[in-house]
Amino acid sequence: MQNNTPAKSWEQRDLSLIWHPCSQMKDYETLPPIVVDHGKGVWLYDIHGKRYMDIVSSWWANLLGHCQPEINAAIKAQLDDLEHVIFANFSHRPAIELAEQLDAITPERIHKFHFNDNGSSAVECALKMSFQFYHQTGKPEKKRFMCLSEGYHGETIGALSVGSMDLFAKLYKPMMMDNIHVTAPDCYRCPYGKTREHCACECFEHAEKAFAAHAQETAAIIVEPLLQGCAGMRIYPPLYLKKLRQLCDTYDVLLIADEIATGFGRTGTMFACDQADISPDIMCLSKGLTGGYLPMSVTCVSDRIYQAFYADYGKGLSFPHSHTYAGNPIGCAAALAVQKIMREQHILEKAADTAKWLTAEMTRVFGQHPNVGEIRHIGLIHAIELVKDPVTKERLDPTKRTGYAIYKHALKRGLVLRPLGDVLYFNPALNITREELRFAIDTAYASLLDVLPV
Ligand SMILES: *Cc1c(COP(=O)(O)O)cnc(C)c1O
């Protein structure tokens, strides 16, 4: 243990011991960690009294604002009853009620809920279930997985294997499963010269070819429905999902919808799959599930899958998969409070109104900037892809780290605008107000001008 002399700042004490996630620690030499004291709504307050607007919802998880009074109260109430219990053979009211509520809002095929404790573990669970499902229903040759290029499903080895973003995955390829990567839609740079609004998903030919070649050996395909988040908020049309559902049914391949980022109203509907009017066989939920309060996830499955594991003990058909904190009661209490607020405060309807206004304002403020290639949006998520030239859509030089430079200027100005490469985005709490968004738009634009003046 180190001797923490009072002369050392909190920032120095942090850097002497903590390895932060998804960061180059050397960058902290010029941008020390921001030590947060408290949060309220969309605002974070650091220990020096400076405030920052959290326009990225703290990694897309914070659904209804920080320290939301009703969620806080629900957690405090649960805490005095039960903090945690083994979830094998034992259960509790919050988990049961949460499963009932999820059953009511999830797509039609989904009726069973397997609790895990983070997004990646929900994906791992979905992959293992799919593999085992076919193993014990007479098609053991279905061992492989398909996924979309530029996809992201988490950081554990299995989840990384079905991800295609080189940034996260390339180095670890020798450790991974051999999956089939299908070229994803790329609507901004559509190779067929179509637009997202007017196309027949010509790019679906890649999925058709992959299924024709590999469906017999494939257990499941996993996708982020409508929105490839980490890839830079890449949005594709619902028609793609409709076609994929059909293709999966034709070839008997399970469809896994990773709604970890898109779930709970992020894309304007409760789930992204709702916009395509399809039901996956398995759906992964996390992030907004607890309002971004506690690590919890659910792998939601169809009865068909569940029944394939239901048998007398000793037949080897059960699912030997558990996480210590699965179904944690405090997490469930938070999730129940989130659902109550969503219903009673008409969060989806209000967010839809706010989103319309935001689209118009973003377009007005950013539309003319010579480096703004596309302003794309789905639900309240709005992303701005910066390019060298909007006509050619040529990317900015990645070595210049333009997005990161803008991020640093935005922080000085009090906005957490953590970019995805050179894509700036808003993914705020669903109950953010227009006044708050006004600040975010103006501050983001000023920060853009700091780095790319016109
Ligand atoms: C964040 C995310 C995950 C991983 O969740 P963790 O809780 O960070 O493990 C998986 N899939 C998608 C689409 C995500 O956005």
CA 396 to each of CA 57, 399, 450: distance values in angstroms, whole numbers, following the listed order: 26, 9, 16
**Do residue 113 and residue 127 come from a single domain?**
yes
Tokens 């429905």 found at: 225
Residue 3 lies in a domain: no
Is residue 402 within 8 Å of 197, Cβ to Cβ? no
Q: Do residue 312 and residue 430 come from a single domain? A: no
The token duo for 447 is: 């920060």
User: Any long-range contacts for 136-141 (C-beta under 8 Å, 24+ apart)?
Assistant: 136/308, 136/309, 136/316, 136/317, 137/308, 139/252, 141/216, 141/217
Find the radius of gyration of the CA atoms of the chain: 22
Q: Quick check: CB of 262 below 6 Å from ligand 1?
A: no
Same domain for 321 and 369, yes or no, is: no
Same domain for 205 and 287? yes
Which residue stretches of the chain have pLDDT < 70? Answer: 1-6
Question: Residue 378 carries which side chain, given as an amino acid letter?
Answer: I
DSSP 285: E
In-domain check, residue 235: yes
pLDDT for residue 170:
81
Q: How far apart are CA 444 and CA 179, in angstroms?
A: 39
Please tell me the predicted confidence (pLDDT) of residue 117: 95
Residue with tokens 């309220």: 40
DSSP 302: E
Q: Give the Cα separation of 272 and 283 in Å (integer).
A: 11
Ligand 1 pocket mutation pick from 152, 223, 271 by most atoms within 8 angstroms of CB: 152
**0.85 exceeded by pTM:** yes
Tell me, in angstroms, the distance from the centre of ligand 1 to residue 298's CA.
12
Residues 443 and 328 in one domain: no
Task: For ligand 1, say whether the CB of 124 is within 6 Å of any of its atoms.
Answer: no
> What angle, rounded to 10 degrees, do the helices at 93-105 and 329-344 form?
40
- Structural domain ending residue among the three candidates 294, 323, 344: 344
Instruction: Evaluate: CB of 154 within 6 angstroms of ligand 1.
Output: yes
Report d(CA 287, CA 60) in Å as an integer: 7
pLDDT of residue 112: 98
Single residue among 281, 310, 344 that ends a domain in this structure: 344
What is each CA distance from 358 to 91, 363, 374, 387, in whole angstroms? Answer: 43, 8, 15, 22
Helix %, strand %, coil % of the chain (to 5): 40, 20, 40
pLDDT of amino acid 274: 98
- Specify whether the CB–CB gap between 256 and 249 falls below 8 A: no
Same domain assignment for residues 249 and 334: yes
Q: Does the CB atom of residue 260 touch ligand 1 within 6 A?
A: yes
The CB of 256 under 6 Å from ligand 1? The reply is: no
Distance 286 CA to ligand 1 centre (A): 7
Is there an atom of ligand 1 within 6 Å of 118 CB?
Answer: yes
pLDDT of residue 324: 96
**Residue 255 C-beta-side C-alpha neighbours within 13 Å:** 26
34 Cβ contact list (under 8 Å, min separation 6): 44, 46, 52, 411
What is the torsional sign of CA 284, 286, 287, 288?
positive
Tell me if 181 sits within 8 A of 148, measured CB to CB. yes
Whether residue 148 sits in one domain with residue 282? yes
Identify whether residues 123 and 83 lie together within a single domain: yes
Do 335 and 368 share a structural domain?
no
At residue 398, the pLDDT reads 94
**SS3 (DSSP) at 387:** strand
Residue 293 lies in a domain: yes
Q: Which domain holds residue 253?
A: 72-344
Number of domains composing the chain: 2
Residues 155 and 281 in one domain: yes
Rounded CA gap, 417 and 425, in Å?
7
For residue 134, being part of any structural domain is answered with yes
**355 in the same domain as 321:** no
Question: What CA–CA distance (Å, rounded) separates 320 from 439?
Answer: 50
CA 199, 201, 164, 322 torsion-angle sign: positive
DSSP state of 217: G
What is the position in ligand 1's atom list of the atom closest to the CA of 261? 15
CB 120 less than 6 A from any atom of ligand 1? yes
Helix (H/G/I), strand (E/B), else coil: 116: strand
Q: Which residues pair with 376 in a beta bridge?
A: 383
* Index of the ligand 1 atom closest to the CA of residue 287: 7
CB 261 within 8 A of CB 287: yes
**Both tokens assigned to 451:** 């780095």
Q: Where do runs of H (alpha helix) occur along 2-92?
A: 10-17, 57-60, 69-79
| The last residue of a domain, from among 294, 329, 344 | 344
**Residue 328: per-residue pLDDT:** 98
The tokens describing 391, both together, are: 């006509």
Q: Are residues 283 and 196 in the same domain?
A: yes
